[in-house]
Amino acid sequence: MPRPQKEPLRPLAAHERATLEEVARSGAERADRVARAKALLAVADGARFTAAARAAGRRSGDGVAKLVARFNADGLAALTTRPGGRPPLRYGPAEAARILREARRPPDRARDGTATWSLTTLRRALRSAPDGLPRVSTFAILRVLREAGLSWQETRTWCATGVVQRKRKAGVVEVVDPATAAKRG
């Protein structure tokens, strides 16, 4: 035995019915809008929610019940898809400022283990700092940099060309390539 309809469809205005019929017949409309229009027209013609769902090519009458409640409240705006749920942003303005401050700081080779920032080395530095962000991701860093109008590739610090640090038995030594100028042309 089907459940009773808790919120029946309100009577349709003439322009609403005309718009719903136009969308339901359209071949150029999005398929989800067409299915919603068909379901609403079926309910308006007296079909139960489960029958309206089948007429629209859907399986569940519960979805039609939610659509009817939304149509009763919003009108024809119920045909459009609402923005989907995305996870809430974990970091606010204070954390974004902390990320930008760290990205603008030149890296210390001894402490940070790098001479240039990449997203992963910046993430490592932020996670290990006492006032840092222990769970920050490279995606969050990239998002903050983009929102600030920066590109990490364009704004990161660079090493001197032809000068590298190498690990030796005696420790870290600086190796200079004497032919750097000739190689650069």
- pLDDT tens readout for residues 53-68: 998 988 888 889 999 9
At residue 146, the pLDDT reads 83
6: left (phi over 0), alpha (psi -120 to 50) or beta: alpha
DSSP state of 86: -
Lowest mean pLDDT of 23-27, 124-128, 181-185, name the range. 181-185
Paired residues of 176 in beta bridges: 163
CA 157 to chain CA centroid, Å, is 29
> How large is the average pLDDT for residues 100-115?
88
126 C-beta neighbours (distance < 10 Å), count: 23
Q: Within its chain, how far is the Cα of 88 from the centroid?
A: 10
Q: Are 68 and 78 in contact (CB under 8 A)?
A: no
Per-residue pLDDT at 158:
46
